[in-house]
Structure 1
Amino acid sequence: MLARQRQAVILEEARRTGAVRVSDLVDQLGVSDMTVRRDLDVLASRGLVEKVYGGATSVSSHSTDEPGFEAKSVRQLEQKEAIASVAAGLVRPGTAIGISAGTTTWTLARALDAIPSLTIVTNSIQVADVLRASTQPDRTVVLTGGVRTPSDALVGPVAVQSLRSLHLDLVFLGVHGMADGPGFTTPNLTESETDRALVEAGRRLVVLADHTKWGTVGISTIAELAEASVVVSDDELPQDARRTLSEHVGELMIAPTAAPSGADE
């Protein structure tokens, strides 16, 4: 198979599934790891895919584009782990918290296992699966109903109605994008309404967003920047973003990562 044919296969697979892994492509195409990585380099140089640790994801540029959970789960892994570790430090035993859908909030859910006596409300199937496997016997997990989105969120009137009667100590919100003006945004209109209900149920809002979310704008605003009590991001967040966020949010917390993201590629 010629290089351009391999690259066409890789691109088609990335667009179909949202993400591809080098190991899977080696098996599928019957070529070496190095050959696959060269093909990904070519596709990335053309702006057709985005390289991530262990593979690549399809490029999404529209305000209504919504990658699936699997596609997003392989992006910025170290940053998400660092953000989750810092965010978990904000949770105290015996509190009631809300966790929105998303891969960063899913990573947070995994980091909460050592904290006892939590009541956790979520509209995320993936987050609920992690929480149900907890070793804490005194944990209560509430999963809202609703219609499932590509990011495995449950949204819509059923979810909104169940959230409106709740009073939570902390709400952890994952977002598609954040920017000065639009605020915290999502590409899904129905998910925006559900996330808004979750935000309103909490006394304090903690937004979890890695540096790639800055400047990205989804079609619908969930909350203004000033509504966030805390924003937790990683140490690759640009200085202009840090200045803007520091001016608007209650507190900006920067999570140190073990290594620059470029080292993963």
Structure 2
Amino acid sequence: MLATQRQERILAQIRETGAVRIGDLTRDLGVSDMTVRRDLLELAEQGLVRKVHGGAVAPHTTVHEPGFAAKSSREAGEKRAIAVAAARLIAPSSSVALSAGTTTHLLAAEIAASPALRPLTVVTNSLPVADCLHRTNDPRLETILTGGSRTPSDALVGPLAEASLAGLRVDQTFLGAHGLDPEVGLTTPNVDEAATNRALIDAAGRTVVLADHTKWHTTGLRVFATFADVDVLVTDAALPLDERDRVRDLVEQLVIA
């Protein structure tokens, strides 16, 4: 197979899945590790891919933010497993913050269904999270909703949200992210949401990030944290083993759901 043919196949796979791994390409293309690395380097020099540890991803930065309903249907099983694992990190008589996101919404459902976690105080900038918790009608589950402007993902963001978080202190913040990259950090397509996420981190004694494997090596428009800000990452079993080893070097605790 000619180099141009290999590179076309590499680009086709990236267009389809968003990323490629060197180990998979050596097997699928029947070439050496060095040949694949050379192909990726040539594609990167042309601006057609972005090289990352162990492979390559699409070169663009995400600026589009899908709506809450659209995101809810993606990786639903993985997200639910992550939510169940995250709920085990919560102790009764504590305070937690939940950011907006479909995985944090599933965590809210786990909290709502678990009387053993109460009494509990939950601070959130997510309308779906607040609604889910409010429906329990349990006075032992206190929900504090920030103000702010509403995003397509039903988050409340902006100066009002940040002002309502200023001075608060919770035991843990459970945070979703549009994308995670070891070189770039945690990102979102929404600039205002990035600032509110930063305020949620600053309010917490411990930061727990909930992100399924598809978020790895995805980059949004705005960085709101680095891995130095993350204490725990909860992800699913589809995260490759070599990536897990890398995460363990970056955070205090890795939880595989």
Q: Please give the TM-score of this superposition, normalised by the length of structure 1.
A: 0.73
1:235-260 Cα shifts (integer Å, max 9, x gaps): 001223212211010100000xxxxx
Q: Secondary structure at the match of 1:112?
A: helix
8 A Cα contact 1:226 1:250, kept in partner: no
Q: Secondary structure at the match of 2:186?
A: strand
Cα distance change on mapping 1:104 and 1:230 into 2, 3 Å: same
Of the candidates 189, 195, 201, which is equivalent to residue 191 of structure 2? 189
8 A Cα contact 1:167 1:203, kept in partner: yes
Instruction: Give the match for residue 210 of structure 2.
Output: 208
1:104-157 Cα shifts (integer Å, max 9, x gaps): 000000001212111100000011110101253311100000000010000000
Of the candidates 167, 170, 181, which is equivalent to residue 168 of structure 1? 170
Query: Structure 1 segments of 4 or more deviating over 4 A?
Result: 45-50
Q: Partner letter of residue 122 of structure 2?
A: I
Instruction: Give the match for residue 101 of structure 2.
Output: 102
Instruction: Give the match for residue 120 of structure 1.
Output: 122
- Residue 189 of structure 1: how far off its partner (Å): 0.6
1:180-232 Cα shifts (integer Å, max 9, x gaps): 11111111111000000010000000000000000001111121112111000
Instruction: Give the match for residue 254 of structure 1.
Output: 256
Q: Please give the TM-score of this superposition, normalised by the length of structure 2.
A: 0.75
Identity %: 47
1:64-89 Cα shifts (integer Å, max 9, x gaps): 11111010000001101100000000
Q: Which runs of 5+ in 2 are unaligned?
A: 1-12, 19-59
Instruction: Give the match for residue 22 of structure 1.
Output: none
Question: RMSD over aligned Cα, in angstroms?
Answer: 2.0
Q: Partner letter of residue 204 of structure 1?
A: R
- Residue 49 of structure 1: how far off its partner (Å): 10
* In 2: Cα distance, 1:120 partner to 1:243 partner: 32
Aligned length: 202
Aligned pairs (5 A) from 1:84-163: 84-113=83-112, 114=114, 115-134=117-136, 136-163=138-165
8 A Cα contact 1:116 1:136, kept in partner: no
Instruction: Give the match for residue 75 of structure 1.
Output: 74
**Structure 1 stretch 241-250 or stretch 164-173: which is displaced more?**
241-250
- Residue 165 of structure 1: how far off its partner (Å): 1.2
Cα distance change on mapping 1:238 and 1:167 into 2, 3 Å: same
Q: Secondary structure at the match of 1:81?
A: helix
